[in-house]
Each structure stands twice: as C-alpha cells, then as structure tokens.
Structure 1
C-alpha cells in the first residue's frame, strides 16, 4: 500500500495531472496514476538557467574537474553554465561517496551535464540514499544511473517511490528489484507501467502462473513484461493453445519468443524447419520442449542442423526431441564434444550407439570427468585436442 503522505502528494501535485483509481496487484493495493515523465525532468532539479553559450570557467571546470576533453567541454558548455566551483564540487564529492569513479563521473556529465547544477544535498542525496536503502551497492549504482540518468531527474516522492512500490509488489523482494534495475534501468522511468506491466502481471496471476515464473520474467525479460497488453494477452492465449503449462517456466520462455518475433518471421522459420525434416507438428514439439531455440536466426539454425544431420548423421526428429542442443555454441561446445566422442568411439572405448544427449546436455565439469579424465591413460593427448578446438574458435 502506498503510504498516505505519498497519496496526498500524488493527488495534490499540480504538475503530474494524475487521474486516480485503485488497482489490485497481488496483495498490494496501490494508487493508479498517469503521468508524463517529461514534467518531472526539471521539477525541483535546478534553479540555474541554461545559457546558450558556455563561458571560460565552465569549459575549464569540465576539463579539469570532470575529466572531459576540451572539445567535449565546449559542446557541453552550451547546455550548462557554471558560475562557481562550490555547487559542482559538492555534486562530484557526493557522487564519489556513492561509488562513482572519475571515469564514471565524466560519462555522467557527458550524458547529463545539468547534474552539476543540481542541489547535491536536497535533490541528489535523497535519491542516492533511497537507492542504497533498497540494496543498490556502490558498484551497481553508477552503472544503473549511467544507463538511465533520468532517475536523477525524477521526483523521488511522486515518481520513483511509487514505481518502486509497484516493482516490489510484483517480485516481492528488494534484491530482485535491484536486479531489474541493473538489467533494464530505463523501464523504471520510460515504461508505462500502469497500461502494460501491471495488467500483464495480473493476467499471469489470474492464469495461476507461479511467483517464481513471474520473477523470472521480470528479472531476465523485463522488456517482454512491458509489452502492450493486448499483444501480451494474445501471446499468452497462443502459448496455452500450443500446450504450455502455466505452472512451468517454459511458458515464460514461450511468451518471450512469441512477443519478440512477429508472425511473418515465425512462418519463415517454420519453412526452414521443414527443409530439415521438421513438419509443423514436430517443430511445435521442439518449441514446447525448448522455446528459446526459435530465437535462433535461420542461418544459425541451418548451420547447426547441417553439422548434426549431415556431418554427424543424427536423425532430424531426434534433434527436435532435444532442441536445447541447438542453443549451444557450435564452435565451443557442439563440435569439440562430438570430436572427442568420435575419437573415443574410433578407439573402441565407447559404444557406437551412444545417444548424443548423453554427452551434449551435461555440464562441462561432468563432461570432462566422464569423457576426458576417465580416458587420459588411454588417450593422454585427448584433452589437447579438445582444448585446441575450443581455443581455435576464439581466434
């Protein structure tokens, strides 16, 4: 629940022009508000006017104190005018105390020179303290603000805190909120959370999608979670029609694929799948087992299938059964592992009919133990061959 003092500010603010209703998000009842982000950009941010031409002091300060080049300093001086070093020094000191290196300060000034005329104690410090309070470390804070410096320009009480409350209500954990900020910092200011994110999450919950899957969507696929609600509904309906179980995380991966590839692209890929022996039913079977394979380009898919089918002699339908193999690197995993297995088979150390999933789907440590270390007495140079193939692909 948004605290009463926030609700009062949300309603009273003449700048935000909110239309207020209530919506239910899990167990959190939050005040719905519409906004125009641009109205926050300079509100209570700085009292300094922007001058069309920078003076000598501004250029000198940007070069000597902020570490930007003289050429860039001249350009930035058209966007910010500094009178004395006191205010900018306070900003730089504050940023340094919150983890910004000199290089990061220079990058922030390049992106957003007006930060130097912000009120360090009254405007910047409360926002930095808030981000620290929810678990953003000094290492991550500069990275987040460099990806989205607009966070520093928005109202803390009227904008950032209400949006944080929404994210916290969805993922139910501050650490996950921080991970969302790290992976998609721009969404907290640019996305229309009330028209897209909130209804999208609500429909997932109504469909009995578990919290773990919702958190997976938010942390790793935040852009998909903010897709237009009508498209999100259509993709969810399609996924369930194909046979995806809402209780399984594969549903989330299916939504990511469906919402990030249009029908024309999907149809063109199905034609490529048919060329490699997958009819529509078999392709959907592979999609249900491992949806992410459909994110592969047609060229990458064909290249991997060519090696597996033509060079290794695998039945095309077997690959559909273990479609996750297509997600592995051809040069760093598929070719090196098959090479090791073929050598072992040629020496009579492994059965000829060993199924490819046995060695392709295990982690690296287990592969090395079972197929390399166990045979080092028989083939002491096998590890050199394997590592040589991997290293060759990096050149």
Structure 2
C-alpha cells in the first residue's frame, strides 16, 4: 500500500464511519459539527476538512497543521456563506485547501459577506465573483474599508466605468488588492501629465497592467523611448508601443529574426511597428503560421504583409484561412481577378460584407462555397 493509501486508512480509522448525505442541489450536504468523530483537536479538524470541505486525507492533514478548528460553528457559517454565493463543492475544497485560515473567520456575516456584496454591487456577476474569489483569495483577506473601496475609488476615477474596473479585478486581481502603490500612482500621474486621455489610461490598466506596476524610473524610460519613436500619447498606439518596448531585448531580437527570415528589412520592421506595435508581441509560432499561409499558400508577397501588418492580429484559423480559402476557389474558377484584390480588402472588411461580396453572390455557380468558408470542404474538392 502506498503512502497515500496508508494516510487514508489512518484518517478513516480516526474518523470512524461517516455516512455522506446528498441533497438535490449541492451534492453532499454539510455534516453538522455534532456528527464529527470524537477525538483530539487535530483529529476533529482533519475530520471536518475531509467530510465538510472534501479535502483529500493528505490535504486535510497538511491543512490541519495551519489551522485548528476550535469552533466548528464558525467554520460552518463560512461554508454556508460560500454556498449561498453558489461556490461549487470543488471551488470550496480548493479554496479551503489553499487558504484554510478562512475557516477561522470569527463572524462570516460581518467579515466576508460585505466583501462579497461589494463585488456584486459594482457589477460583478455571481459566476465571475465565484471564479475571481476562488483564484484570488486576497480579495477576502484585505480590508474592505482600508483597501478594496479605496482601490475601487481610485480606479473608478481613472477608467470611468464599473465594467472596466470589474475587468481589472477579474483578470488582474493581484493588481487590485495591492493598490494604490506609490510607483503606480506616480506612473499614472506621468501618463496623465503627458496628455494621455482616459481611454488610453484604461487600456494601459486593462491590457498592459504589469507595465503600470514597474518602478517609476523604468516606466519613465519606456515612455521616453516611445515618445522618441514619434508616437503621440493621445493614441492607443502609444500604449501598444509601450507594451512592445517593455519586453526583454532577447524576445525583441527573436521577433526581428523571424520577420527577416521572410525577407523583411529593418525598414520594413520599423514601418510595421509604427502601424501596429503589437506585431512585436505576436508569438513566433503565430508569425510563422500567418506568413507561411499568406506567402506560400496564397502567393502574396512578404512585403505586402509588411505594408499591412494588421493581418497579424487576426486569427489564422477563424478569419484568415476561411476567407482566403474562398478567395482561392474564386480565383481558380476564374470568377474574380487577382489584380482586384488586396490583403487589406480581404482581411479587414466586416464578416457580413465579406460573405455578401465573395460568398453569397457566387453560390449559384459554386454551391459549396459556404462550406469552404466554414472549412467543411477543402479547396481542392470544389
């Protein structure tokens, strides 16, 4: 018998036979404290963690070294609150396993409930709330009065809408609970002093959060470099350029080499970067995949991609291949002329327009064209 089996056997011996009960909504029902197996304090804690929080025996023993449950009623109230907010059994188990001291909260109604209510009040859905708290327990540990509300107020002034604040909490909760930090405040002030409008500040916070948390000297240097390249601080491109220039030099050089592998010159790279700074943040795999398809399969020149780098921001599987497959069929059938097409005209137009111009109008002559677009039929089979 392995170590895990030995531990489980020992725990079950301590706990005695406990029958799990089921309810129609939550699966296993919380076993009341009066039914916890008798024994020493450690045994009672392990029993509770296994049978009420569904930790594995090994995890329960490890957690029992961090928390001693002297009042099971308090722990019961914590679990009941999580269920009230529709935390699943698995989410509760993971939360308790990672942060067992939550079960020691003296009064869940006064301590935890207001924090959950606050997140709901600013527009976070119940599903997002559960996911966010499950992934970032610090939202429950930090003071509502001294941390969460001041952070929310600070961000609200910067990004205007509750929806954007909720986005930041959902995707960068670590940033939310450590705010407002001295460097972050100084960095934001520098951006606003330069004339960055609120939408650029919001984009910076949402999409390039880690740049905002850099030391002020480093942040200032990035801003100076971006200004030196001719980007205006009132444009979203300024923020995107900040994101691109904040990567390590080794990563930047790798991207340069990938583009040069396809024949781009230094001038091509600089020109593409000026139009789409994010082209230096696209993965090497994405660059190779797009260039391979557009150049080798479609026959476009590499320089055309350099002249219109926005295509690198589109999904290869969901946008580029479906549209280009339709174009290939139409070219092979002689229904359109290659000279009338540009990479921009094919890739940028709205879906409805593309379907109307290149699919619907030719269905009477190529009935399978829509299936080609949905990648149900290969170009060679039409």
Per the alignment, residue 8 of structure 1 pairs with none
1:200-219 alignment, distance < 5 Å? 200-219=187-206
Number of the residue aligned with 2:157 = 169
Match 1:309 to one of 270, 283, 295 = 295
Given the alignment of the two structures, is residue 386 of structure 1 paired with residue 373 of structure 2, yes or no? yes
Residue 342 of structure 1: how far off its partner (Å): 1.4
Shift of 1:82: 1.5
Residue 107 (1) aligns with residue 94 (2)? yes
Contact 1:134 1:174 survives alignment (8 Å): yes
Cα distance between partner residues in 1 of 2:204 and 2:239: 6
1:352 aligns with 2:338: yes
CA positional deviation for 1:216: 1.5
Task: Name 2:62's counterpart in structure 1.
Answer: 75
Larger radius of gyration between Structure 1 and Structure 2: 2
How big is the shift at 1:177?
1.5
- From the two aligned structures, give the one with the greater helix fraction: 2
Q: Which has the higher contact order (CA 8 A, sep 6+)?
A: 1
| 1:267 and 2:273 aligned | no
Match of 1:116 in 2: 103
Question: Equivalent residue of 1:388, what SS?
Answer: coil
Q: Residue 17 of structure 1 aligns with which residue?
A: none
Partner Cα distance (2:129, 2:81) in 1: 13
Distance 1:54 1:366 in 2: 70
Which residue does the alignment assign to 1:15? none
Shift of 1:212: 1.0
Once residues 63 and 360 of structure 2 are traced to their aligned partners in structure 1, the CA distance between those partners, rounded to angstroms, is 60
User: Conserved in 1, the CA contact under 8 Å of 2:133 and 2:139?
Assistant: yes
Contact 1:218 1:225 in 2 (8 A): yes
- C-alpha change, 1:383 and 1:323, in structure 2 (3 Å) is same
Secondary structure, in 3 states, of the residue corresponding to 1:83?
coil
Q: Bigger CA drift: 110-119 or 78-87?
A: 78-87
Q: Check whether the contact 1:147–1:186 (CA below 8 A) recurs between aligned residues.
A: no
1:389 Cα deviation from its structure 2 partner: 5.9
For residues 328 and 163 of structure 2, the distance between their equivalents in structure 1, rounded to whole angstroms, comes to: 46
Structure 1 counterpart SS, 2:126: coil
Counterpart of 1:154 in structure 2 is 142
Match of 1:377 among 364, 370, 373: 364
Q: Which residue does the alignment assign to 2:124?
A: 136
Contact 2:168 2:176 in 1 (8 A): no
Give the TM-score of the pair, scaled to structure 2.
0.81
Q: Partners in 2 of 1:381 and 1:391 — Cα distance?
A: 10
Specify which of 155, 175, 188 is matched with residue 176 of structure 2.
188
Q: Distance in 2 between matches of 1:198 and 1:117?
A: 35
Q: Higher mean Cα deviation, 77-86 or 330-339?
A: 330-339
For residue 367 of structure 1, what is the aligned residue in structure 2? 354
Q: Is the 8 A contact 2:372 2:378 kept in 1?
A: no
Question: For residues 75 and 64 of structure 1, what CA distance do their matches in structure 2 show?
Answer: 15
Stretches of 4+ aligned residues off by more than 4 angstroms = 389-392
Shift of 1:349: 1.3
Mark the runs of 5 or more structure 1 residues left unpaired by the alignment.
1-52
Contact 1:145/1:151 (8 A) holds in 2: yes
Which of 281, 292, 302 matches 2:267?
281
Cα distance in 2, alignment partners of residues 115 and 106 from structure 1: 12
For structure 2, the residue ranges without an aligned partner over 5 or more in a row are: 1-39
Alignment partner of 1:196: what SS?
helix
Question: Alpha-carbon deviation of 1:86?
Answer: 0.8
Which 10-residue stretch deviates more, 349-358 or 162-171? 162-171
Q: Report the TM-score when normalising by structure 1.
A: 0.78
Q: Map Cα deviations across residues 165-191 of structure 1 (whole Å, 9 max, x no partner).
A: 322222233332211101111112346
Asked if 2 retains the 8 angstrom alpha-carbon contact of 1:345 and 1:351, the reply is yes
